[in-house]
């Protein structure tokens, strides 16, 4: 079953973010927190279809011990100033920028897109700590489209999953404070029959 089960009202050209009033913050500890708002983007399933078909998805490889393995998801990266593949992604970036400006003090400028084709695609435990986020607090805002996949979180250094958020169909999550340094996140593989999911991550300058 790979079909998307959007609601009847989740159709047409009307793609865009809703209000942010419903955003709920969970304090994780060690200066880390996450904000979560399910179903923030309306038209999420239509946007999924458009991005799935139009983004120049790249398969990447990486060295692992003495072999080269495929990264198990497809990627597209939009650096600062690069045109985004859909106007709704610009609107989302501006909305999030305006909402978080007082706390963040700088805009979201880059967008990383990931396509998880099925339950075998995943990302292992990590923090987004390349660049300034290695030493400084930041925010990474994620818009999720398509079939939900769990975003798992745990304190850095291992141990059991502390929190698991199923993210898809227009959900918003923002990891903030020290989250990239003091916590780790992952999208684990699943043997459940799941359709594809797209994750759009907005980051600030100099953070990967």
Ligand X SMILES: O=C(O)CCC(=O)C(=O)O
Residue 114 interacting with ligand X (CB under 6 A): yes
Instruction: Convert residues 19-38 into a mask of x (bound to ligand X by CB under 6 A) and - (unbound).
Output: --------------------
Nearer to Fe ion, 35 or 128 (CB): 128
CB of 12 to ligand X, least distance (A): 26
Q: Which of residues 128-157 bind ligand X (CB under 6 A)?
A: 128, 142, 151
What CA–CA distance (Å, rounded) separates 80 from 176? 20
The one among 32, 34, 55, 187 contacting ligand X by CB under 6 A: 187
Q: Which of residues 111-130 bind Fe ion (CB under 5 A)?
A: 128
What CA–CA distance (Å, rounded) separates 33 from 39? 20
Nearest Cα residue to 151 out of 179, 110, 130: 179
150 binds, among Fe ion, ligand X, none (CB under 5 to 8 A by kind): none
Residue 121 interacting with ligand X (CB under 6 A): no
Residue 27, phi then psi, degrees to nearest 5: -85, 125
- How far is CA 113 from each of CA 3, 27, 105, 144, rounded to the nearest angstrom? 21, 26, 24, 10
Count the Cβ atoms, other than its own, within 10 Å of residue 35.
18
Residue 113 interacting with ligand X (CB under 6 A): no
Cβ atoms of 75 and 121 within 8 Å: the answer is: no
Binding residues (CB under 5 A) for Fe ion: these are 128
Binding residues (CB under 6 A) for ligand X: these are 112, 114, 123, 128, 142, 151, 185, 187, 199, 201
């Amino acid at each position: 079953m790979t079909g998307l089960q959007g609601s009847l009202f989740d159709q047409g050209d009307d793609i865009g973010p809703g209000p942010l009033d419903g955003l709920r913050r969970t304090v994780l500890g060690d200066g880390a927190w996450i904000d979560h708002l399910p179903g923030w983007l309306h038209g999420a399933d239509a946007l999924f279809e458009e991005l799935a078909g139009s983004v120049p998805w790249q398969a990447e490889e990486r060295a692992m011990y003495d072999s080269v393995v495929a990264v198990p998801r497809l990627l597209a990266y939009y650096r600062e100033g690069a045109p985004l593949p859909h106007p709704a992604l610009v609107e989302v970036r501006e909305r999030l920028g305006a909402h978080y400006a007082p706390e963040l003090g700088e805009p979201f400028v880059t967008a990383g897109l990931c396509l998880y084709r099925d339950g075998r695609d995943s990302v292992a435990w990590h923090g987004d700590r390349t660049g300034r986020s290695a030493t400084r607090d930041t925010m990474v805002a994620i818009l999720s489209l398509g079939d939900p996949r769990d975003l798992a979180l745990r304190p850095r250094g291992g141990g059991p999953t502390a929190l698991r958020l199923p993210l898809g169909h227009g959900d918003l999550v923002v990891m903030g404070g020290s989250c990239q340094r003091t916590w780790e996140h992952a999208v684990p593989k699943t043997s459940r029959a799941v359709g594809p999911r797209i994750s759009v991550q907005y980051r600030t300058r100099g953070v990967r």
